[in-house]
Amino acid sequence: MTAPRLAIHDRMVELADITRCRLLVALERQELTVGELALALQLPQSTVSRHLRILADQSWVSSRAEGASRWYRRNPTLDPAMLTLWELVRGAMTDTPAAVQDAARIDAVLASRRAVTQAFFATASADWDALRTEMFGARADLTAAFALLSPDLVVGDLGCGTGALSAALAPHVHHVHAVDASPAMLASARTRLAAFPNVQVDEGALEALPLDDGVLDVAVLMLVLHHVSDPVRALREVHRVLRPGGRVLIGDMRPHTHERYRERMGHVWLGFDDHTLHDWLHAAGFVHPRYVPLPVDPDASGPALFSGTAVAMPRPIMVLS
């Protein structure tokens, strides 16, 4: 029993100074820097730093460095004796004039933080998209959104091209089957995807995929269906490699009139409308088709795009009589 009493006594000494108690009250509400604490408590920074050092040495506060600043907060993992003592001290301080004034000035400090942020966006809103693209890339938001996918998914990137989509998917899913019919495209894909052990790259046509039945949870056909002579046959093959209840995602062009794409890039179809795609998906064994026109990128020179999804129904069991 002697040791705990001595420990509590030591803790009482640490909290005997009103400045240290004010600091703890402030840091329980919000993480703050030394400068912000000095402003809120109307104390010299040297005084704040000295008391913070004492509190940090005794584990009352924790801190982290970020850039040139150090941010402090009340230690969220106080031991039971410290927590019991602190609750008593805090209860005695909550309504004191000093604590009330400190709280008001902390609110002003936080409002000042928000004002700086609002001032930036007030002047940068017109250029924000360009600035964000310059700093983080054109569609960092969509890349981050892949984290919404289940980490257990097995995905087929069918018509993977040079592997850009497979590389974006790989960190977020269990396995990616990257398939393409072009040896030249696959050479680039293998180079790009070599760093991902959960990606398998194979050569194969969309109408004859090198995959077993029901191995995929999701099949993605990104800008590939317009190269296929018989889309229904291809979609039936996609249905074969999907598990029952698996989903297909088709990204492709809406109907357009760019005839030159046929000779220049080997396009068989000049885009697809929703009725055509729905009919093909139903014929291939899919249900719940959805066709969503995508926003037009003002910097893009090609046709407008759509995304289409559908669910693979189980194949009917043939009973021989």
Domain boundaries, the chain: 2-131, 135-312
Per-residue pLDDT tens over the stretch 240-261: 999 999 999 999 999 999 898 8
Per-residue pLDDT tens over the stretch 289-304: 999 999 888 778 889 9
According to DSSP, the residues that pair with 157 across neighbouring strands are 178, 220
* Coil, strand or helix at 87: helix
| Segment holding 155, helix H or strand E | strand 154-158
Residue pair 2/43 in contact (Cβ under 8 Å)? The answer is: no
Q: How many CB atoms lie within 10 A of CB 15?
A: 20
Rg (CA), the chain: 31
Residue pair 155/176 in contact (Cβ under 8 Å)? The answer is: yes
- Residue 277's nearest CA partner among 321, 244, 308 is 308
**Secondary structure (DSSP) of 6-18:** HHHHHHHHHT-SH
CA 226 to chain centre: 31
Per-residue pLDDT tens over the stretch 17-60: 899 999 999 898 888 999 999 988 999 999 999 999 999 988 89
With a pLDDT cut of 90, the percent of the chain lying above it is 54
| Segment holding 290, helix H or strand E | strand 286-293
d(CA 243, CA 286) in angstroms, rounded, equals 12
> Which CATH code is given to the segment(s) 135-312?
3.40.50.150
What is the length of the chain? 321
Instruction: Tell me: pLDDT of 150 over 90.
Output: yes
According to DSSP, the residues that pair with 312 across neighbouring strands are 286
What's the mean per-residue pLDDT of the chain? 87
Structure-model confidence comparison of residues 216 and 125, the more confident one: 216
Residue pair 171/192 in contact (Cβ under 8 Å)? The answer is: no
Report the CATH architecture of 2-131: Orthogonal Bundle (1.10)
